């Protein structure tokens, strides 16, 4: 009896081992057959159940595999491979958050699971959570490599010792020039310190050595997207879609995000609609879908999609804020009650918390409950100010350096040396100062393309700065004096070439990046025939509007009344300087003047841009185009006057702002 039992046990172990071997060799159907034979005799044999589940996923039945794996894990909670496999199956079925949870469970049971860490990093990267992606990918390197030198570099990088990590990584690569994990790590260090051109080159080398290193290709795609090389980024996303069809959800989501950046909203909407029709609805997908609908002017559909997002995730502050950010939308009583309930929960995340604060601020403002509205705006600003860590002194110093370096002598010595293209029309200033209105007016002209807030000038500034890490001293703007005629011309051509993707067929196009006001001198040197418009608004109105606005990214100075008031003073000081050293170069357009007499200001703007008058510029609200800013719905209506005195409803709370603005307010005497 014992001998027979031993023989049966030995046969079972051999059969299970054979099934697992077939699975590891990629012969999943043969493995399934072996496992099913085992289960016919031993229905509770967990390894065979695991093999069947993996084979089910390999057949493309990821949702069925999820059910099988969940059943298995309930029986054997510490089965690390089953948790990892569940993560793969969930990712393929479009359940990204749940996939990450399963992968985290797997590595908590068994740390050295490189495949789990790798997929986790990819999912975070597609979800644009770069910090979590970096952490997971670093753990992947630690789990997949036995090299002490590479381990040491990763640990230094994880500890924030970037310089030491870079030196050690370069030393390791000198000794191991073909190690793709080390090349990818060095590229990741480049991304961390903002040296994206080096990161791009390193990742290209990585893919030359290992074309099937899909993690590196995903890194490469995101770097290309950051550098606005969107056509190349799209090609990489499409390649990933082709070679990993089982990851269609993830890579189609990546494709949609690139199409949005390209301004191809029809293409992006097609992607989102496919994802929502073929996979379980996810809150992040419905939110992105709603954003795209809003941008192309489908407001009612956007509202439905935002509300669907809240149904899927009731605590999702970003969805509530997105509704508030439509500006023309008004919340129902039950929606305000729901926000109050969510914001008071101990479980609310910090991100959801500040989104809900800004949304409640707007909801109560619309109901003229200004004191309580301000309290929520203030709370949201307090949270964001701590997170953003804006440095007023640093900004003031940058403004002073520009004024000291960019002299009349500099401009006279380099007059007309740049690229002579007249194509760009720059609109600069502060956010929420009427720049979107001016853009819509100009984009309604038959010879002008509207685009978005283009990053090309800021990218050129970053490169000219010569900074390899954050603590380095920038060489900009002092470097401007050293640029030769050919360099100035090349930089202008680079700008024209890199913005081509965002344009249509018109002779002129708009670059509405407000922060470019600091770089008017650079723009003048590299594009002497470009037009530059300063969109300005009453300082109290502009600053308070910025204070009530939650920006998707950037604009760190807007959080806190003292911060934004100080920034406005710096801005006015820099624009005054341009008026002195480049007289007549910048057209100042006051928002209040456009509201008071639109036609006079429209004709004035068109004259400055050397454009003939067109009636369509007065009927700008009828122009159908993608508008990507918070004012998107306002500029689809006739001239909006409601915001002129908006700040006065809160004036008793704004002494801090008045003090920060100081003498700038004297230019606007009280009524």
Per-residue pLDDT reduced to its tens digit, 210-244: 999 999 999 999 999 998 899 999 999 999 999 99
State the DSSP H helix or E strand holding residue 187, giving kind and residue range, or none if neither: helix 180-193
pLDDT range class, residue 251, cuts 50, 70, 90: very high
Q: Which range (55-59, 69-73, 444-448, 557-561) has the least confidence?
A: 55-59
What pLDDT does residue 470 have? Answer: 66
| Model confidence band, residue 487 (pLDDT cutoffs 50, 70, 90) | very high
Report whether pLDDT(190) > 80. Answer: yes
Split at pLDDT 50, 70, 90, the class of 2 is: very low
Average pLDDT, the chain: 90
Better-scored residue on pLDDT, 45 or 623 = 45
CATH 1.25.40.10 domain range(s) in the chain:
34-260
How many Å apart are CA 604 and CA 619, to the nearest integer? 16
Give the CA count within 13 Å in the CB-facing half-sphere of 282.
Answer: 21
Distance CA 465, CA 480 (A): 10
Report the alpha-carbon distance of residue 481 to residue 602 in Å, rounded: 36
What are the pLDDT digits (tens) for 377-432? Answer: 999 999 999 999 999 999 999 999 999 999 999 999 999 999 999 999 999 999 98
How far apart CA 168 and CA 152 sit, in angstroms, is 8
The better pLDDT of the pair 7, 300 is held by: 300
CA distance 235 to 455: 21
324's tokens: 């508030």
DSSP 407: -
> Are 142 and 158 in contact, with CB atoms under 8 Å apart?
no
- CA count, 13 A, side-chain hemisphere, 544: 24
Contacts of residue 57, Cβ cutoff 8 Å, sequence gap at least 6: 65, 85, 88, 89, 92, 246
- Rounded-to-integer distance, Cα 201 and Cα 510, Å: 31
Given this model, what pLDDT does residue 47 score? 83
Q: Is the pLDDT of residue 37 over 80?
A: yes
- Phi, psi torsion values for 119, nearest 5 degrees: -65, -40
Residues 554-599 have pLDDT tens digits of 899 999 999 999 999 999 999 999 999 999 999 999 999 999 999 9
Asked whether the predicted pLDDT for residue 669 surpasses 80, the reply is no
Tell me which H or E stretch contains 509: strand 508-511
Q: Which two tokens mark 48?
A: 């065979």
Q: With H, G, I as helix, E, B as strand and everything else as coil, classify residue 637.
A: coil
HEC-encoded secondary structure of 306-361: HHHHHHHCCCCHHHHHHHHCCCCCCCCHHHHHHHHHHHCCCCCCHHHHHHHHHHHH
Q: Which residues pair with 590 in a beta bridge?
A: 536
pLDDT digits (tens, 9 = 90+) for 510-532: 999 999 999 999 999 999 999 99
Provide, rounded to the nearest whole percent, the portion of the chain with pLDDT above 90.
Answer: 73
Q: Which CATH number, 3.40.718.10, 3.40.50.300, 3.40.50.970, 3.10.20.580, labels domain 420-667?
A: 3.40.50.300
Provide the b/e sequence for 636-652 (b: ≥16 CB within 10 Å).
beeebeebeeebeebee
Residue 481 · residue 405 · CB < 8 Å: yes
Question: Which two three-digit tokens encode residue 26?
Answer: 């990629």
The reported pLDDT for the residue numbered 10 is 58
Residue 636 pLDDT greater than 50, yes or no = no
pLDDT at 639: 65
- Burial label, 347 (beta-carbon count in 10 A; 0-12, 13-18, 19+): exposed
Q: Is the pLDDT of residue 299 over 70?
A: yes
- Three-class SS state of 425: strand
Say if residues 343 and 353 touch (Cβ distance below 8 Å).
yes
Q: Please tell me the predicted confidence (pLDDT) of residue 219.
A: 94
CATH topology for 34-260 is 1.25.40
Read off φ and ψ for residue 532, nearest 5 degrees. Answer: -135, 125
Backbone CA torsion sign across 119, 224, 432, 657: positive
In this predicted structure, what is the pLDDT of residue 7? 45
Degrees, nearest 5: CA angle 190-195-200: 75
Question: In this structure, are strands 508-511 and 424-429 parallel, antiparallel, or unpaired?
Answer: parallel
Average pLDDT over residues 110-128: 92
Q: What pairing do the DSSP bridges indicate for beta strands 531-536 and 508-511?
A: unpaired
Instruction: Flag whether pLDDT at 658 surpasses 60.
Output: yes
CA angle 320, 263, 259 (to 5 degrees): 85
Among 124-128, 206-210, 258-262, the range scoring the smallest mean pLDDT is 124-128
Residues of the chain with CATH 3.40.50.300: 420-667
Quote the CA–CA distance of 243 and 237 in Å, as a whole number: 10
Q: Please name every residue paired with 588 in a beta bridge, in sequence order, or none if there are none.
A: 534
Asked if 346 and 332 count as a contact pair (C-beta separation under 8 A), the reply is no
pLDDT above 70 covers what percent of the chain? 94
Residue 613, pLDDT > 50, answer yes
Beta strand spans in 30-146 (E)? none
* Residue 148 CB contacts under 8 Å (≥ 6 apart), including other chains: none
Residue entry with tokens 């996923």: 57
The pLDDT of residue 240: 96
Q: pTM of the full predicted structure?
A: 0.84
- Interior/surface letters 528-566, b for 16+ CB within 10 angstroms, e for the rest: bebbbbbbbbbbbbbbbbbbbbbbeeebbbbbbbebbbb
194 or 664, greater pLDDT: 664
Q: Which of 539, 576, 538, 537 is nearest to 561 (CA)?
A: 539
């Amino acid at each position: 009896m014992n001998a027979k039992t031993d023989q049966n046990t030995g046969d079972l172990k051999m059969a299970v081992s054979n099934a697992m071997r077939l699975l590891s060799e990629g012969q999943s159907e043969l493995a399934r057959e072996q496992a099913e034979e085992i289960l016919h005799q031993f229905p509770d044999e967990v390894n065979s159940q695991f093999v069947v589940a993996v084979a089910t996923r390999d057949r493309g039945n990821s949702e069925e595999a999820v059910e099988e794996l969940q059943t298995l894990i309930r029986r054997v909670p510490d089965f690390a491979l089953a948790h990892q496999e569940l993560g793969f199956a969930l990712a393929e079925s479009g359940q990204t958050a749940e996939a990450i949870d399963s992968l985290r469970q797997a590595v908590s049971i068994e740390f050295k699971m490189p495949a789990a860490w790798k997929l986790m990093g990819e999912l975070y990267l597609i979800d644009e959570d770069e910090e979590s992606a970096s952490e997971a990918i670093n753990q992947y390197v630690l789990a997949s490599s036995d090299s002490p030198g590479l381990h040491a570099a990763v640990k230094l990088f994880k500890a924030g010792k970037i310089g030491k990590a870079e030196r050690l990584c370069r030393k390791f690569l000198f000794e191991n020039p073909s190690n793709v994990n080390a090349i990818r790590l060095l590229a990741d260090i480049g991304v961390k310190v903002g040296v994206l051109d080096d990161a791009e080159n390193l990742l290209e080398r990585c893919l030359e050595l290992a074309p099937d290193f899909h993690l590196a290709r995903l890194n490469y795609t995101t770097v290309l997207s950051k550098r606005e090389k969107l056509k190349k980024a799209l090609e990489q996303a499409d390649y990933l879609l082709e070679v990993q069809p089982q990851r269609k959800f993830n890579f189609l989501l990546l494709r949609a995000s690139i199409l949005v950046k390209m301004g191809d909203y029809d293409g992006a909407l097609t992607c989102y609609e496919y994802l929502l029709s073929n996979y379980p609805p996810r809150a992040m997908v419905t939110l992105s879908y709603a954003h795209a609908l809003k941008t192309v002017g489908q407001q009612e559909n956007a509202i439905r999609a935002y509300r669907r997002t809240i149904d899927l995730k009731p605590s999702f502050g970003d969805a509530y804020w997105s509704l508030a950010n439509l500006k023309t939308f008004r919340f129902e009583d039950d929606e305000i009650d729901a926000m109050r309930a969510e914001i008071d929960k101990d479980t609310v995340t910090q991100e959801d918390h500040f989104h809900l604060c800004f949304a409640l601020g707007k909801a109560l403002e619309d109901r003229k409950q200004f004191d309580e509205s301000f309290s929520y705006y203030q709370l949201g600003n307090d949270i964001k100010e701590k997170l953003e860590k804006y440095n007023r002194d640093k900004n003031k110093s940058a403004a002073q350096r520009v004024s000291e370096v960019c002299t009349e002598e500099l401009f006279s010595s380099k007059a007309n040396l740049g690229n002579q293209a007249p194509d760009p029309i720059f609109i600069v200033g502060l956010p929420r100062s009427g720049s979107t209105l001016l853009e819509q007016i100009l984009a309604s002209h038959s010879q002008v393309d509207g685009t978005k807030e283009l990053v090309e000038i800021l990218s050129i500034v970053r490169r000219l700065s010569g900074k390899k890490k954050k603590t380095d001293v920038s060489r900009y703007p002092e470097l401007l004096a050293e640029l030769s005629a050919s360099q100035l011309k090349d930089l202008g051509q680079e700008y024209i070439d890199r913005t081509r993707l965002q344009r249509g067929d018109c002779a002129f196009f708009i670059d509405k990046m407000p922060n470019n006001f600091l770089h008017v001198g650079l723009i003048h040197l590299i594009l002497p025939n470009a037009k530059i418009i300063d969109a300005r608004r009453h300082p109290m109105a502009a600053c308070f509007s910025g204070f009530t606005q939650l920006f998707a990214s950037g604009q760190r100075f807007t959080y806190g009344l003292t911060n934004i008031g100080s920034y406005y003073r710096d801005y006015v000081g820099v624009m005054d300087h341009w008026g002195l050293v480049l007289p007549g170069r910048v057209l100042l357009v006051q928002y209040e003047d456009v509201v008071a007499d639109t036609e006079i200001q429209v004709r004035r703007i068109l004259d400055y841009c050397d454009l003939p008058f067109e009636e369509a510029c007065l009927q700008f609200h009828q122009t159908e185009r993608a508008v990507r800013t918070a004012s998107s719905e306002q500029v689809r209506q006739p001239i909006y006057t409601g915001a002129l005195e908006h700040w006065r409803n809160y004036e008793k709370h704004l002494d801090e702002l008045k003090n920060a603005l100081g003498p700038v307010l004297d230019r606007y005497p009280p009524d």
